[in-house]
Amino acid sequence: MKPPRIGVIGSGSWGTALVYHLAQHHSVLWYVHRPESAEYIRRHGRNPAYLKAVELPLKNIRIYSALRPVLQKADGLLLVTPSRFLRPILDAIDPELIHAAWIMSAVKGMIDTPQGAFLISEYLEQHRKWPREHFYVLSGPSHAEELVQWKTTFLTIAGTNIEVRRRLFQDLLGTAYLPLLYSTDVIGIQYAGILKNVYALIGGMVEGLGMGDNFKAVLMTAALREMWLLIQRFTGLQPDILQPAYGGDLLVTGYSRHSRNRALGLMVGQGTAPRMALRELNMIPEGYFAIAALQRKLGKALPQFPILHSTYNILYESYSPQLEMRLLTEHLRRLFLQSAPES
């Protein structure tokens, strides 16, 4: 059987890390949006913008600055483009014309359109008629900077019929330092990846305000609970929130020095206006855009989820981070008093 060719759509840090990982033993067709970046990588074997020290195994990588050849040649597609720029790529996917038998999303964001906010799976199914049984999600604690150093993590692949391609995905991605977990919770795991970025952002604000590690631990505990409630609302299921794709991803994004969402929150907490902080960061923090999409999705129900609500108020309604945090602190006090076991 001919070895599969995997199309990777995206050349940021996570896309670069996944190309590096896949191309150790497999053939990769890599879509790099900027022609000058594509040419630099061909010549030097390194991404000039992200993970610059990583030497890529070019013998197994073909690089394209046009999307069409990748869609026409790849046996499977791995989406790693920030959600803010993903819609034109998804709109180019025609199930009748592309070669790929499956699509896997490693994107932890939403597609925000005038018609509403969509998960990647929802947009593909409703707008591109992509069959849900051929869509998968890759998620979990996964900082690119650590993957390229062969540091151990546990990633989860979710699909409605995951057993059909489990052996293929194990061969493509599974290693001793990257053991894979499998799930059928396609919707819940997508929401977990979106929500953890928002919670990491407000966790960064707590740090920037100098509120201390103790309060941040309280906040992240409440965020875990709120994540569980939101996923239950969106899916009707009760997720195992302590699995790596849920709670694990929340913890690493909330606390790691590699987290761009935490970094943005830190700047806002220290007094930088959100839009100015966004410009200064010079990276795409998915949480900033995700909270706007979630506000549209939840509408009048947003205040039922106070951590999300506070984050939205600070980022988009220009509320004072200090005042909003005082209100949130009082809410958390009531929450934990109500749920505390009687002595």
3-state secondary structure the chain: CCCCEEEEECCCHHHHHHHHHHCCCCEEEEECCCHHHHHHHHHHCCCCCCCCCCCCCHHHEEEECCHHHHHHHCCEEEECCCHHHCHHHHHCCCCCCCCCCEEEECCCCCEEECCEEECHHHHHHHHCCCCHHHEEEEECCCCHHHHCCCCCCCEEEEECCHHHHHHHHHHHHCCCCCCEEEECCHHHHHHHHHHHHHHHHHHHHHHHCCCHHHHHHHHHHHHHHHHHHHHHHHHCCCCCCCCHHHHHHHHHHHHCCCCHHHHHHHHHHCCCCHHHHHHHHCCCCHHHHHHHHHHHHHHHHHHHCHHHHHHHHHHHCCCCHHHHHHHHHHHHHHHHHHHCCCC
Phi and psi at 125, nearest 5°, equal -70, -45
Q: Which of 108, 196, 216, 297 is catalytic?
A: 196
Q: Is 108 a catalytic residue?
A: no
CA-closest candidate to residue 156, choices 220, 105, 203: 105
Q: By the 8 A CB rule, do 301 and 342 touch?
A: no
**Separation CA 343–CA 340 (nearest Å):** 9
Residues with a catalytic annotation lie at: 196
